[in-house]
Amino acid sequence: MSFLARLTLASTLTFAAAAPAAAFDASEKDEIGKIVREYLIQHPEVLYEAQKEWNRRQEAKVEEKRGAALSTYLGTIDGSKLHAVLGNPKGDVTLVEFFDYNCGYCRHATKDIDALISADPKLRIVLIELPVIRQESLGAAQVSIAVNRAAHDKFAEFHAKLLSGQSLATKARALAVAKEVGVDQKAVEEALGGPEVEKTLLESKTLADDLGVEATPTFVVGDAVVPNTTSVVGDLQGRIAAIRACGKAVC
């Protein structure tokens, strides 16, 4: 395409973008479409460049939203008191885990979480239900929230048993596990019917959206979001120590 043709194309497209659709008749619209099509066929790299720029802008929006959420998420969690807590409820550092009872990686991370709790008596772990793996995960999450409301002292045992099980985590399976660990079934059913279950799931989704969490397990500690880690202890212990030292996940 000659320089003159490119200049004409640029002028045409600029004018077309600025002008309302009604400013062109059918033949003019058809001609503009042909010019654009011809240019894109001759220069397909433009589509790739446009896609890269679109991705960059989307990622920037996510990072901006995440940055704002990282300064408020602990206040939201502490204010609502809806989510289950493991470790020291009054710990000086909070580690948040977004998890799904049907998430294999969450299951594998259980031993690492236990190791962190055993090694760090001042660590608080907040569990955020994010049932995204399977449709059945929602029912399991609902029962989990109800157990935490109805029998908080039994929750850790319930959570460990349901998450470590090899069978599919469903609502029925979660209810069975709750019964096995000694949770009163009537109390669980009453909690399931209460507003806190839906409220907790809604807050969980909002936190996940704001922090850019798309998969489980994802951990949040201080100002760091750590997704899809296969080495929980290795990836998180240093960040926890840094928060105590300088208030940030990386000093």
Looking at the fold, whether 231 and 140 belong to one and the same domain comes out as yes
Kindly state whether residue 104 falls inside one of the protein's structural domains.
Answer: yes
H-run or E-run covering 64: helix 45-70
State whether the Cα torsion 126-129-132-137 is positive or negative. positive
Other Cβ atoms closer than 10 A to 50? 11
Report how far residue 35's alpha carbon sits from residue 18's, in angstroms, rounded to the nearest whole number.
Answer: 17
Q: How confident is the model at residue 76 (pLDDT cuts 50, 70, 90)?
A: very high
Q: How confident is the model at residue 142 (pLDDT cuts 50, 70, 90)?
A: very high
Whether residue 125 contacts residue 117, with contact meaning beta carbons closer than 8 Å, is answered with: yes
Q: Look at residue 226 in the predicted model and tell me its pLDDT.
A: 92
Report how far residue 251's alpha carbon sits from residue 246's, in angstroms, rounded to the nearest whole number.
Answer: 6
What is the average pLDDT across 144-162? 97
Looking at the fold, whether 77 and 94 belong to one and the same domain comes out as yes
What contacts 216, CB < 8 A, 6 or more positions away?
A: 98, 99, 100, 103, 105, 106, 130, 132, 133
What is the average pLDDT across 149-153? 95
Least-confidence region, from 38-47, 122-131, 186-195, 237-246: 38-47
Residue with tokens 């259980």: 110
Please state whether the peptide bond connecting residue 44 to the residue before it is cis, i.e. omega within 30 degrees of 0. no
Sheet holding 224-227, edge to edge: 84-87, 123-129, 93-99, 218-221, 224-227
H-run or E-run covering 152: helix 152-164
Q: How confident is the model at residue 22 (pLDDT cuts 50, 70, 90)?
A: low
What is the average pLDDT across 194-198? 96
Number of residues that make up the chain? 251
Looking at the fold, whether 96 and 125 belong to one and the same domain comes out as yes
- Structurally, the chain folds into a number of domains equal to 2
Q: How confident is the model at residue 1 (pLDDT cuts 50, 70, 90)?
A: very low
Tens of pLDDT, residue by residue over 100-135, are 999 999 999 999 999 999 999 999 999 999 999 999
Other Cβ atoms closer than 10 A to 70? 18
Q: How confident is the model at residue 21 (pLDDT cuts 50, 70, 90)?
A: low
Looking at the fold, whether 84 and 179 belong to one and the same domain comes out as yes
Residue where a domain terminates, one of 70, 87, 116: 70
Task: Write down the mean pLDDT value for the chain.
Answer: 88
Instruction: Note every long-range contact of 40-45, with CB atoms under 8 Å and residues 24 or more positions apart, other chains counting.
Output: 42/1
- Please name which of 115, 119, 133, 125 lies closest in space to residue 232, comparing C-alpha atoms: 115
Q: What is the CATH number of the domain that holds 115?
A: 3.40.30.10
Whether residue 161 contacts residue 177, with contact meaning beta carbons closer than 8 Å, is answered with: yes
Least-confidence region, from 47-56, 219-228, 237-246: 47-56
Range of the structural domain that residue 239 is part of: 73-246
H-run or E-run covering 129: strand 123-129
Q: How confident is the model at residue 14 (pLDDT cuts 50, 70, 90)?
A: low
Residue where a domain terminates, one of 16, 43, 70: 70
Kindly state whether residue 111 falls inside one of the protein's structural domains.
Answer: yes
Looking at the fold, whether 127 and 43 belong to one and the same domain comes out as no
Q: Look at residue 15 in the predicted model and tell me its pLDDT.
A: 52
Looking at the fold, whether 90 and 213 belong to one and the same domain comes out as yes
pTM of the model: 0.77
What is the average pLDDT across 128-144? 97
Percent of the chain with pLDDT over 90: 65
Task: State the Rg of the chain over Cα.
Answer: 26
State whether the Cα torsion 90-94-100-103 is positive or negative. negative
Q: How confident is the model at residue 27 (pLDDT cuts 50, 70, 90)?
A: confident
